[in-house]
């Protein structure tokens, strides 16, 4: 060995010992951060469920009486039953809608299928809060079309409020998820199955029923489960459409209870614990049934043009029905919302053109709290979303590409927030910030909201990054390791550059989600940290439907702009 | 360059199967050892344990005067082992040019840019890639990619070169050329090399030493000549390219050799130790040692023709002889309707093993 070789070797050795610490520090740092993030909203709730007084008091008694009281409470069983009906309704109706629409747009030659499919999925880009406002504007008791129908045409009117209306709007809001899963299953399936069936003499409808639908079984069961969970979680729809009729789900129960002057903290915590356990069981069941891999179902197909089923004489009637469907469910409500934002009143009795105004928008931008909520949302989405994306990337790297002994628990942990409804995240973090001295800084700034939103959407981002990391052959990092790179060096110089597109996709997904998120924010925001969603709610409570519509339109415009920009400029496709 | 000593290496995966089961190897500095064996026998796992990409349960791995792994103290991470590795898929980093790919290990070792440049140029010359340094991996052919991977593994003068089926992604012609080129290069650089393959031609033509692996264990260790000439087990004989197995019985033995009956004929064989009169034996016959007999005499075996195939300039017969199926070459056609075949056998070209259930079952398919 020459002198320089020896020098290099000792230099390399020093580097190795220095970076040898960096790798475990980074890995365990990510693990610790994830643990803190995931359990910090849960621990206070667990704690509170076993004490008689509110948890911020000094004189605490440990007790099981909270659970005892909850189990004998008639009202609680009512709430569970309603929550079950509502969630099951959403799951079944939205999955049926999504699957049917997917089969029609992917597998048949129905005219206009591209547009119909696109319009059908719009609600997933707006929030269910906005969709609920839109529906009320058009189909609510004083809505434009309700009034036209009942008063101008003199026909019996409907009542949008109550369980059925909630299920219908909820299903419209979440139907895009089954649609995407079914679309991807159908695109990847081999069209020759269907051709074979037709050659055997099966009719068109029979082929659809006997061959195509069974192909969808995994996508269907997955969608049912996801949307069942979504039904338990959602706050806006039961709050806006259920509360006025006394239809109370778990989310609204929590919301109203915490909003009281003397909330029964113990009861809230116990109810939350039970729901958490139930959700965790559901998700475990789903893993058991569908296997590990399906967690990362990616919504993307092979580049294979499926042979389409010819509908023949049914082509036009079906297309017409579908157009009516998406128009009634999506186009009219959103058009109504847009119209409402630009007029003083929206009724069939006054021509909208005579009451045109910019006033609603002016109000939003002139009142400080309202305008601030837009900037806050953008800040949280831009900055918080970025940190959340970075953390998710770190989690995926440790869980999938390291030999850290905790990688399996980490993977489980990172997906656990799927089981935690947004309201619970909000309550739990609120209590954590109150309970732990020094954490007040989180509460009084948007950082607290960033933490809550990150916790909520880690599974989404992990699910978006994991497949693109999986597409990078493991030999690429092995080659870097044998070449002399530490794990950190490999991550930094090989994996991160290669996974950048997946990271960008996850970031945009998080940006959009953070922009629309409000359920976990309703308990956490304080004056100064309002976000669009919380402002929408408080405007609605004040009965200012004009500004509500204006702010909702602003949110839709922001989301649309981000989606379009990322599609056009960066080639990133949302949700497939 | 350094000597490699692996002893009693054991590695199992979560599913419980032992991928590497008590493997010991030693390889003198500058020599070429090939790990040869069927798919799933643990070759790659062994190689990965040497590279540090897998952590064995027990055993020791020593390279020169450094202990890379031992059961008590654990292993040093792959980046500190100073090994060069070429993967089956080449594992070139797609976002870096050829030059940056090769520069990567040098940058990690803190080698200044000037020197880096010189060394990249040198190694690029050695692997005949001088003009392609600014290309990206996807702009190269398979053979060129393979040479970049080799350059990347050699550029920092590792103590040992580990190659995991580096030629298996090349087409047949290119593979033949690369074989000659690679072994010439290794001789020239005299770098200690462990080479993994399931191709017996590669193993026989390129290695100083071969270790034939089966189910995580080393079935035989020796020079190509020893492995080919005197396979230690029917498995090795089978794997190394002997295609026919015949059943026989020992009739008599005096000292090193004896008479063995195969079907209706008798031959004199050199008998291994431990084979006695009355034992059933398995005879591994190379393709060339079994022929369709020109004349019928006491040293021809008779069998039943199961199938005949016209191969253009010769015929191949599938025949049943004493309960075993064998393939036999013949220059002349046996007329249709004749369903017996006479076969001559050259004992000197055969290896003989005692039959004991386990081995013979696998070999005498
Ligand atoms: N990560 C793993 N987890 C579980 N089992 C594994 C893993 N890697 C390898 N094995 C098992 O260990 C055994 C040896 O695998 P190994 O990759 O070493 O085979 P190989 O000899 O290189 O085969 P090939 O020629 O196909 O590459 C196989 O039975 C394989 O199924
Ligand atoms: Mg292998």
Residues sharing a CB contact under 8 Å with residue A2, sequence separation 6 or more, in sequence order: none
Residue nearest to atom 1 of ligand 1 (CA): B13
Question: For residue A192, what pLDDT is reported?
Answer: 64
How far apart CA B196 and CA A183 sit, in angstroms, is: 44
Q: Which residues line ligand 1 (CB under 6 A)?
A: B 13, 15, 17, 19, 37, 39-45, 198
Q: Tens digits of per-residue pLDDT, A538-558?
A: 999 998 999 999 999 999 999
How far apart CA B336 and CA B338 sit, in angstroms, is: 5
How far apart CA A505 and CA A563 sit, in angstroms, is: 11
Q: How far is the CA of A219 from the centre of ligand 2 (A)?
A: 35
Pocket test for ligand 1, best of B23, B34, B45 (most atoms within 8 A of CB): B45
What's the mean per-residue pLDDT of chain B?
A: 88
The shortest C-alpha distance from B152 to chain A (Å) reads 8
Query: Mean per-residue pLDDT for A295-306?
Result: 41
**3-state SS record for B312-330:** CCCEEEEEEECCEEEEEEE
Token pair of A426 as six digits: 């909000």
**Reading across the β-sheet that carries B83-86, which strands appear in turn?**
B83-86, B160-164, B193-197, B32-36, B209-214, B217-222
Q: Residue A200: left (phi > 0), alpha (psi -120 to 50), or beta?
A: alpha
pLDDT at B27 over 90: yes
pLDDT at A59 over 90: no
Question: What is the bridge-based pairing of β-strands B32-36 and B193-197?
Answer: parallel
Which residues on chain B are in Cβ contact (under 8 Å) with A484? 79-80, 82, 105, 108-109, 156
Greater model confidence, B40 or A189: B40
Q: Tens digits of per-residue pLDDT, B219-244?
A: 999 999 999 888 888 899 888 876 78
Q: How far is the CA of A398 from the centre of ligand 1 (A)?
A: 23
Question: For residue A189, what pLDDT is reported?
Answer: 65
Question: For residue A149, what pLDDT is reported?
Answer: 83
For residue B4, the cross-strand partners are B27, B63
Half-sphere exposure of A193 (CA within 13 A, CB side): 16
pLDDT at B365 over 50: no
Query: Mean per-residue pLDDT for B211-215?
Result: 94
pLDDT at A574 over 90: no
Question: What is the bridge-based pairing of β-strands B193-197 and B18-27?
Answer: unpaired
Phi first, then psi, for residue A262 (nearest 5°) are -125, 75
Pocket test for ligand 1, best of B9, B16, B17, B19 (most atoms within 8 A of CB): B19
Among the listed ranges A127-141, B76-90, B129-143, B254-268, which one has the minimum average pLDDT value?
A: B254-268
Residues sharing a CB contact under 8 Å with residue A257, sequence separation 6 or more, in sequence order: A263, A264, A267, A268
Third-level CATH fold of A43-356: MetI-like fold (1.10.3720)
pLDDT at B266 over 90: no
Instruction: Tell if the CB–CB gap between B110 and A11 is shorter than 8 Å.
Output: yes
Which of A58-67, A302-311, A472-481 tops mean pLDDT?
A: A472-481
Which residues on chain B are in Cβ contact (under 8 Å) with A20? 77
Q: How many CB pairs under 8 A join A and B?
A: 85
Among the listed ranges A190-204, A213-227, A325-339, which one has the minimum average pLDDT value?
A: A190-204
pLDDT at A50 over 80: yes
Question: For residue A58, what pLDDT is reported?
Answer: 78
Nearest-5° Cα angle at B284, B278 to B290: 110
Residue nearest to atom 7 of ligand 1 (CA): B13
Instruction: Tell if the CB–CB gap between B79 and A473 is shorter than 8 Å.
Output: no
Instruction: Tell if the CB–CB gap between B109 and A12 is shorter than 8 Å.
Output: yes
Question: For residue B37, what pLDDT is reported?
Answer: 93
Question: For residue A1, what pLDDT is reported?
Answer: 38
Question: For residue B362, what pLDDT is reported?
Answer: 40
**Long-range contacts of the stretch A460-464 (C-beta < 8 A, 24+):** A460/A506, A460/A509, A460/A510, A460/A513, A461/A388, A461/A389, A461/A392, A461/A506, A461/A509, A461/A510, A462/A392, A462/A395, A462/A396, A462/A399, A462/A414, A462/A415, A463/A295, A463/A296, A463/A415, A464/A392, A464/A502, A464/A505, A464/A506, A464/A509
CB atoms within 10 A of CB B26: 14
Which residues on chain A are in Cβ contact (under 8 Å) with B75? none
Instruction: Tell if the CB–CB gap between A481 and B156 is shorter than 8 Å.
Output: no
Question: For residue A571, what pLDDT is reported?
Answer: 64
In this structure, chain B runs to a length of 365
Question: For residue A194, what pLDDT is reported?
Answer: 63
Q: How far is the CA of A16 from the centre of ligand 2 (A)?
A: 29
Question: For residue B1, what pLDDT is reported?
Answer: 66
Question: For residue A349, what pLDDT is reported?
Answer: 81
Q: How far is the CA of B176 from the centre of ligand 2 (A)?
A: 20
Q: What percent of chain B has pLDDT over 90?
A: 50
Q: How many helices (H) and strands (E) does chain A have?
A: 30, 0
pLDDT tier for residue A9 given thresholds of 50, 70 and 90 = very low
Residues sharing a CB contact under 8 Å with residue A332, sequence separation 6 or more, in sequence order: A138, A145
Residue nearest to atom 25 of ligand 1 (CA): B39
Which of A7-16, A347-356, B55-64 tops mean pLDDT?
A: B55-64
Question: For residue A311, what pLDDT is reported?
Answer: 80
Question: For residue B111, what pLDDT is reported?
Answer: 92
What's the mean per-residue pLDDT of chain A?
A: 86
Greater model confidence, A188 or A530: A530
For residue B301, the cross-strand partners are B343
One fold for A43-356 and A358-576: yes
Q: Tens digits of per-residue pLDDT, A418-433?
A: 889 999 999 999 999 9
Instruction: Please state the domain extents for chain A.
Output: 43-356, 358-576
How far apart CA A170 and CA B46 sit, in angstroms, is: 56
How far apart CA A360 and CA A551 sit, in angstroms, is: 8
Which of A61-65, A148-152, B33-37, B295-299 tops mean pLDDT?
A: B33-37
CB B243 within 8 A of CB B61: no
Query: Mean per-residue pLDDT for A331-341?
Result: 94
Q: How far is the CA of B242 from the centre of ligand 2 (A)?
A: 23
Greater model confidence, B362 or B303: B303
pLDDT at A385 over 80: yes
How far apart CA A116 and CA A111 sit, in angstroms, is: 9
Greater model confidence, A422 or A153: A422
First to last CA, chain A: 56
Q: Of B51, B88, B95, which has the smallest distance from its Cβ to A482's Cβ?
A: B51
Question: For residue B35, what pLDDT is reported?
Answer: 96
Residue nearest to atom 26 of ligand 1 (CA): B39
Q: Tens digits of per-residue pLDDT, B156-169?
A: 999 999 999 999 88
Pocket test for ligand 1, best of B43, B194, B213 (most atoms within 8 A of CB): B43
pLDDT tier for residue B361 given thresholds of 50, 70 and 90 = very low
Instruction: Tell if the CB–CB gap between B52 and A485 is shorter than 8 Å.
Output: no
Query: Mean per-residue pLDDT for A219-228?
Result: 86
pLDDT at B294 over 90: no
pLDDT tier for residue A392 given thresholds of 50, 70 and 90 = very high
Question: For residue B221, what pLDDT is reported?
Answer: 94
Q: Which CATH class is domain A358-576?
A: mainly alpha
DSSP letter assigned to residue A108: B
User: Counting ligands in written order, which one lies closest to the CA of residue B197?
Assistant: 1
User: Counting ligands in written order, which one lies closest to the CA of residue B198?
Assistant: 1
pLDDT at A262 over 90: no
Question: For residue A269, what pLDDT is reported?
Answer: 92
CB A356 within 8 A of CB A148: no
Which residues on chain B are in Cβ contact (under 8 Å) with A2? none
Q: Of A476, A478, A485, which has the smallest distance from its Cβ to B108's Cβ?
A: A485
pTM metric for this prediction: 0.84
pLDDT tier for residue A198 given thresholds of 50, 70 and 90 = low
Which of A281-290, A494-503, B249-258, B343-352 tops mean pLDDT?
A: A494-503
The shortest C-alpha distance from B96 to chain A (Å) reads 9
In this structure, chain A runs to a length of 576
Mutation choice for B interface testing from A402, A403, A477, A482 by most B CBs within 10 A: A482
Token pair of A425 as six digits: 């995240």
Residue nearest to atom 24 of ligand 1 (CA): B39
């Amino acid at each position: 060995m020459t002198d320089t070789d020896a020098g290099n070797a000792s230099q390399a050795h020093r580097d190795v010992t220095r970076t040898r610490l960096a790798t475990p520090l980074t890995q365990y740092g990510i693990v610790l951060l994830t643990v803190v993030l995931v359990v910090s909203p849960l621990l206070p709730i667990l704690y509170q469920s076993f004490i008689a007084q509110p948890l911020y008091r000094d004189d605490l008694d440990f007790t099981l009486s909270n659970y005892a009281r909850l189990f004998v409470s008639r009202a609680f069983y009512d709430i569970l039953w309603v929550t079950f009906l509502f969630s099951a309704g959403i799951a079944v109706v939205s999955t049926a809608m999504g699957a049917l629409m997917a089969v029609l747009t992917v597998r048949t030659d129905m005219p206009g299928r591209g547009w119909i499919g696109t319009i059908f999925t719009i609600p997933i880009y707006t929030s269910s809060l906005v969709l609920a406002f839109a529906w009320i504007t058009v189909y609510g008791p004083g809505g434009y079309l309700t009034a036209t129908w009942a008063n101008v045409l003199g026909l019996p009117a409907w009542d949008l409020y109550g369980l059925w209306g909630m299920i219908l709007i909820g299903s419209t809001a979440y139907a895009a998820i089954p649609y995407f899963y079914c679309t991807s299953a159908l695109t990847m399936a081999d069209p020759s199955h269907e051709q074979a069936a037709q050659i055997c003499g099966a009719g068109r409808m029979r082929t659809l029923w006997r061959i195509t639908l069974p192909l969808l079984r995994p996508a269907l069961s997955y969608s049912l489960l996801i949307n069942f969970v979504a039904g338990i979680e959602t706050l806006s729809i039961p709050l806006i459409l259920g509360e006025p009729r006394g239809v109370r789900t778990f989310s609204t129960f929590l919301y109203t209870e915490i909003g009281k002057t003397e909330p029964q903290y113990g009861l809230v915590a116990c109810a939350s614990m039970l729901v958490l356990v139930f959700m965790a069981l559901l998700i475990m069941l789903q893993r058991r049934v569908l296997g590990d891999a399906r967690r990362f179902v990616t919504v993307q197909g092979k580049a294979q043009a499926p042979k389409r089923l010819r509908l023949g004489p049914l082509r036009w009637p079906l297309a017409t029905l579908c157009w009516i469907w998406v128009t009634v469910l999506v186009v009219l409500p959103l058009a109504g919302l847009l119209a409402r934002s630009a007029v003083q009143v929206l009724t069939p009795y006054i021509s909208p053109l005579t009451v045109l105004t910019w006033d609603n928008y002016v109000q939003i931008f002139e009142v400080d709290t309202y305008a601030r909520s837009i900037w806050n949302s953008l800040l949280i989405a831009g900055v918080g979303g970025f940190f959340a994306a970075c953390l998710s990337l770190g989690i995926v790297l440790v869980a999938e590409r390291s030999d850290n002994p905790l990688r399996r628990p980490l993977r489980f942990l990172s997906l656990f927030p799927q089981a935690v409804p947004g309201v619970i995240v909000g309550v739990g973090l609120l209590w954590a910030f109150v309970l732990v001295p020094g954490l007040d800084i989180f509460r009084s700034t948007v950082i607290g909201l960033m933490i809550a939103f990150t916790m909520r959407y880690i599974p989404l981002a992990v699910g978006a990054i994991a497949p693109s990391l999986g597409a990078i052959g493991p030999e690429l990092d092995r080659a870097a390791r044998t070449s002399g790179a530490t794990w950190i060096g490999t991550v930094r110089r090989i994996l991160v550059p290669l996974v950048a597109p997946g990271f960008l996709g996850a970031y945009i997904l998080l940006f959009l989600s953070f922009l629309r998120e409000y359920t976990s924010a309703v308990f956490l925001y304080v004056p100064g940290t309002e976000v669009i969603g919380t402002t929408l709610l408080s405007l609605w409570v004040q009965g200012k439907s004009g500004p509500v519509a204006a702010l909702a339109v602003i949110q839709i415009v922001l989301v649309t702009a981000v989606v379009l920009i990322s599609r056009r400029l960066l080639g990133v496709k949302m949700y497939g | 360059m350094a000597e490699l000593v692996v002893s009693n290496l054991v590695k199992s995966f979560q599913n419980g199967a032992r991928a590497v089961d008590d493997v010991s190897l030693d390889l003198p500095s500058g020599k070429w050892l090939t790990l040869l064996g069927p798919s799933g026998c643990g070759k790659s796992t062994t190689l990965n344990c040497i590279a540090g990409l897998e952590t064995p349960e027990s055993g020791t791995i020593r390279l020169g005067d450094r202990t890379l792994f031992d059961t008590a103290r654990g292993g040093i991470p792959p980046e500190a082992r100073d090994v060069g590795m070429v993967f089956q898929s080449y594992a070139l980093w797609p976002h870096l040019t050829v030059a940056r790919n090769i520069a990567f290990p040098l940058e990690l070792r803190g080698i200044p840019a000037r020197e880096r440049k010189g060394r990249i140029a040198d190694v690029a010359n050695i692997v005949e890639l001088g003009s392609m340094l600014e290309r990206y991996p996807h702009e190269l052919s398979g053979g060129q990619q393979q040479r970049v991977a080799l350059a990347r593994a050699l550029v920092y003068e590792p103590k040992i070169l580990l190659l995991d089926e580096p030629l298996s992604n090349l087409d047949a012609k290119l593979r033949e050329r690369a074989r000659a080129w690679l072994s010439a290069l290794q001789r020239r650089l005299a770098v200690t090399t462990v080479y993994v393959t399931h191709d017996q031609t590669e193993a026989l033509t390129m290695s100083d030493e071969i270790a034939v692996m089966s189910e995580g264990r080393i079935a035989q260790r020796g020079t190509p000549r020893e492995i080919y000439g005197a396979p230690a087990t029917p498995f090795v004989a089978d794997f190394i390219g002997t295609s026919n197995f015949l059943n026989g019985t020992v009739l008599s033995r005096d000292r090193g050799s004896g008479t063995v009956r195969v079907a209706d004929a008798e031959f004199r064989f050199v008998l291994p130790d431990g084979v006695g009169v009355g034992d059933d034996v398995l005879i591994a016959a190379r393709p060339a040692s079994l022929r369709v007999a020109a004349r019928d005499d006491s040293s021809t075996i008779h069998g039943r023709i199961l199938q005949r195939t016209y191969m253009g300039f010769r015929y191949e017969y599938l025949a049943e002889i004493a309960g075993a199926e064998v393939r036999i070459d013949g220059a002349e056609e046996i007329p249709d309707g004749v369903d017996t075949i006479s076969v001559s056998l050259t004992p000197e070209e055969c290896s003989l093993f005692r039959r004991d259930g386990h081995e013979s079952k696998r070999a005498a398919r």
